[in-house]
Structure 1
Amino acid sequence: MTTILITGGHSGIGLAASRKLAAQKVDLVLAGRSPDRMREVADELRSSYGTSVRTVALELSSLESVRAAAATIESMLASGELTSLDAIVCNAGGRFDGAISFSPEGYETTFATNYLGHFLLVEQLLPKLSRNGRVVYTASGTHDPDSMDGKMVGAAVEPDAFALAEVGKNGDAALSAGKRYSSSKLCAVMYVYELDRRLRKAGSAVSAIAFDPGSIPETGFLRGMPAPMRRLSTTSAMKWVSQRLGVTTSDVAFSGASLAALATENGYVDASGTYFQAHEGTLTAVRSAKVSYDLRRAAKLWEDTEELVGLRIRGEATQPR
């Protein structure tokens, strides 16, 4: 039986993906920071599809919570409660408007949630993935500063892990919420590519895939914005304007189904290191931002991230997997 761990699988496109996977009789582990909502969704999926659904508490902005969640899943595997772990779907994330905030470890919340937490979760659980397992990361077209998606949200800045983790600290100038979001997603795309390169070098059959679900205001992405802006963003008129401007648009159902497909379908078994985009009913492999293919930047981002999440000591050589 296939078992998939999905973060944020209880809302938005994550919920749409969970329903699609459950309908295919895939066993699920829902991980997130809303235990009551996860229990409701787990009960719904069990009742509707007869599949096995477990829930694990996970606050991605907290590295301690990530380690605890990974340990819980490892324990489930060791006890036989989970028979396998076949995919990790890194779907949860958010944009944090308003005053800048920091994680328990002192890292900027957007960067900690959208990038650091998933990096640590995958690195902790990668040895437990099945031989042909997959890591699928929900990224965003906003990561590309040359795209309309990126320009409208706020162009991503240099993918410097230390700088992004500390941005706005001690009274220093803070990036806008949009720039913090797009930059965190750029780092996510670069992580997927670097993970793919390292897996291939190690002779692993595990795949790493990046996915842009498109702009979907209904998911609550703009929940930190004023109410009038949120209402406007979900109107057909606003969608029409976005399409004319060249924004990548989609809907919850299609993007959720696309996320599920990338995690399970045989057609994507050789898609490691690829960036897929959902746009108006079509899922296509496309090019990501130019900077995302920079090997030097990616290697440095990886090493700095290992240090930030406590997997590496400054100056220590990276150990082979």
Structure 2
Amino acid sequence: MSGSILITGGTAGLGFHCAVALARQYPKHQITVASRNDTQDTAGTINRITGQKNVQYLRLDLSSLSQVRLFVKTWTEANKPPITHLLLNAGLQFPREVSYTDDGYEKTFAVNHLGHALLFSLLIPRLAKTARIIVTASGTHDPAQKTGMPDAKYTSAEELARPTGQALSNEGRQRYTTSKLLNILWTYALERRLANLRSDPNQARNWTVAAFDPGLVPGTGLARDAGGLVKFMWLRVLPRVIPLLSVLVSPNIHSAEESGQSLAWLAGDAQVTAKSGLYYEGRKEINSSTESYEEKKQEDLWEWTLKHVAEGPEEVAVFELKSLA
């Protein structure tokens, strides 16, 4: 195998279709789809679709920092080829009252941001000299898009991770849109550090990052924790009327297959992989929200995250991209 591709949330929805597209595009790469469970034998299904044997599944629970570390330990011990494409795609929405992980963090924050940030940081030594990192965000992070979702609001990383007071009454959909804002804030903070690497001739790293809005994709597992009627509409009704919705509601409504192919394009198309620090709505480069460009918020999130996921000064140096082998 000439390289590794890792896709979180790759067992269903747009992640699944992205994995199919990348497996076809990179038949000599080892492609890993990772999620909390895989009852449908996703890797076997993709291998049958493509007629290849280069896709496998690994369990990954992003809600647990210790489980993320165990995943990377397993990955490292397997001596997999260097990672050329890392797609931080998984995401969940918890529509009811605030709930917490075993680590004590609000679940939306933990799964959609913190687990991915730790995963990337631990995998830094496993990245190939040229690597593409994609973070799946959402247009719902931008109030100007008027998606019908509650406006994202960044207070502080600490308040979002461990809400207190009034923040405890924020509805789950608002915690979700804010988590998507976090994805973009973190992407831009990461890009500043990657730009320093790319400009250093002694490092010889060509790592690029982009944030991706797949649009509204009915039928995915995003609403798995929603109520009965909402879940039924999301899984059974809306996927059947996507063409109508794209005309009557918004052109940014897509099938899982269409969005998955767009994600694969952003990860692997030579026209865009050299570009870094940008935000895409499907295959169109656009501006993210005004708030997402606030460097003070980007750095607050980055520094808080570093403080809470790094164990000791050696990890801090690696996670800050200051100590690379």
TM-score above 0.5:
yes
Equivalent position SS for 1:98: coil
Match of 2:259 in 1: 255
Match of 1:267 in 2: 271
Match for 1:273: what amino acid? Answer: G
- What is the TM-score normalised by the length of structure 1? 0.87
Match for 1:264: what amino acid? Answer: G
Match of 1:165 in 2: 161
Work out the CA distance in 1 between the residues paired with 2:251 and 2:54: 38
From 33, 36, 39, the equivalent of 1:36 is: 39
Match of 1:116 in 2: 114
Work out whether 1:288 is the aligned partner of 2:254.
Answer: no
**Conserved? CA contact 1:4–1:88, under 8 Å:** yes
Per-residue CA shift, 1:234-286, capped at 9, x if unaligned? 336687467545473122111101111122221112221011112xxxx2001
Equivalent position SS for 1:97: coil
Work out whether 1:7 is the aligned partner of 2:3.
Answer: no
Describe the shift of the 1:243–1:111 C-alpha distance in structure 2 as closer, same or farther (beyond 3 A).
farther
Describe the shift of the 1:179–1:294 C-alpha distance in structure 2 as closer, same or farther (beyond 3 A).
same
Match of 2:201 in 1: none
Match of 1:182 in 2: 177
Work out the CA distance in 2 between the residues paired with 1:247 and 1:232: 19
Match of 2:303 in 1: 303
Equivalent position SS for 1:202: helix
Match of 2:281 in 1: 277
**Conserved? CA contact 1:148–1:247, under 8 Å:** no
Describe the shift of the 1:232–1:92 C-alpha distance in structure 2 as closer, same or farther (beyond 3 A).
same
- Percent of aligned positions that are identical: 31
Note the 1:121-132 alignment, pairs <5 A: 121-132=119-130
Report how far residue 48 of structure 1 moved. Answer: 3.2
**Conserved? CA contact 2:99–2:107, under 8 Å:** yes
Report how far residue 128 of structure 1 moved. Answer: 1.5
Match of 1:196 in 2: 191
Work out the CA distance in 1 between the residues paired with 2:229 and 2:321: 51
Describe the shift of the 1:5–1:146 C-alpha distance in structure 2 as closer, same or farther (beyond 3 A).
same
Per-residue CA shift, 1:190-213, capped at 9, x if unaligned? 111111110111224101110000
Unaligned runs of 5+ in 2: 199-204
Note the 1:77-88 alignment, pairs <5 A: 77=79, 82-88=80-86
Per-residue CA shift, 1:161-191, capped at 9, x if unaligned? 110111258x963311111001111011111
Per-residue CA shift, 1:56-95, capped at 9, x if unaligned? 2211010001111111112222xxxx22211111111110
**Conserved? CA contact 1:214–1:249, under 8 Å:** yes
Report how far residue 319 of structure 1 moved. Answer: 7.7
**Conserved? CA contact 1:96–1:110, under 8 Å:** yes
Report how far residue 224 of structure 1 moved. Answer: 2.7
Work out the CA distance in 1 between the residues paired with 2:167 and 2:210: 35
Work out the CA distance in 2 between the residues paired with 1:312 and 1:153: 39
May I ask how many residue pairs the two structures share in their alignment? 306
**Conserved? CA contact 1:159–1:187, under 8 Å:** no
- What is the TM-score normalised by the length of structure 2? 0.86
Match for 1:177: what amino acid? Answer: G
Describe the shift of the 1:319–1:138 C-alpha distance in structure 2 as closer, same or farther (beyond 3 A).
closer
Describe the shift of the 1:238–1:268 C-alpha distance in structure 2 as closer, same or farther (beyond 3 A).
closer
Describe the shift of the 1:251–1:36 C-alpha distance in structure 2 as closer, same or farther (beyond 3 A).
closer
**Conserved? CA contact 2:214–2:259, under 8 Å:** yes
**Conserved? CA contact 2:21–2:261, under 8 Å:** yes
Work out the CA distance in 2 between the residues paired with 1:220 and 1:32: 12
Work out whether 1:64 is the aligned partner of 2:66.
Answer: yes
Match of 1:211 in 2: 212
Match for 2:275: what amino acid? Answer: A
